[in-house]
């Protein structure tokens, strides 16, 4: 009996100074590569967030998580494409172990000076 394709995480950090259309084009290109021969399980845009340390003199990046099932050829194509694409600061592809919990919701980052949304009170 054939084994199902393993589950992978693709995490990309895209230069936040690029135009929105260019960042979307990079994300769409990665999705297209996966969908050509695999299936997407989770697609999360985490938005622009501060980096833990500067990469290429950039302090912010647009974070994106893509979980998918695909054969090895897709991984090689993704790695090659993202390695040579201008605007991709970092990317990482990890094979997830069977039984790994589902991807969490995108973390929320509070920026200094940001106004918090109003909290609705619940009366008992």
* Beta-carbon count within 10 A of 24 CB: 14
> Which tokens is 79 given?
């790695």
Number of domains in the chain: 1
| Count of beta carbons in the 10 Å neighbourhood of residue 64 | 22
Residue 6 has pLDDT above 90, yes or no: no
The answer to whether position 112 is within a domain reads no
Given pLDDT bands bounded at 50, 70 and 90, which one contains residue 103? confident
The answer, yes or no, to whether residue 107 has pLDDT greater than 90, is no
In a domain, 12, yes or no: yes
Closest-CA residue to 33 (of 10, 2, 61): 10
Q: Which domain holds residue 45?
A: 7-95
Place of tokens 């990079």: 26
- Is residue 122 included in any domain, yes or no? no
């Amino acid at each position: 009996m054939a084994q199902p394709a393993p589950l992978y995480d693709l995490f990309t950090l895209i230069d936040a100074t690029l135009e929105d259309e260019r960042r979307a084009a990079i994300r769409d290109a990665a999705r297209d590569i996966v969908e050509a021969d695999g299936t997407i399980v989770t697609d999360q845009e985490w938005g622009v967030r501060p980096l833990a340390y500067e990469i290429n003199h950039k302090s912010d990046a647009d974070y994106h998580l893509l979980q998918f099932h695909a054969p090895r050829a897709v991984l090689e194509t993704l790695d090659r494409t993202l390695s040579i694409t201008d605007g991709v600061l970092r990317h990482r592809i990890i094979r997830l172990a069977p039984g790994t919990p589902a991807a969490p919701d995108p973390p929320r980052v509070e920026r200094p000076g940001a106004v918090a949304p109003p909290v609705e009170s619940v009366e008992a």
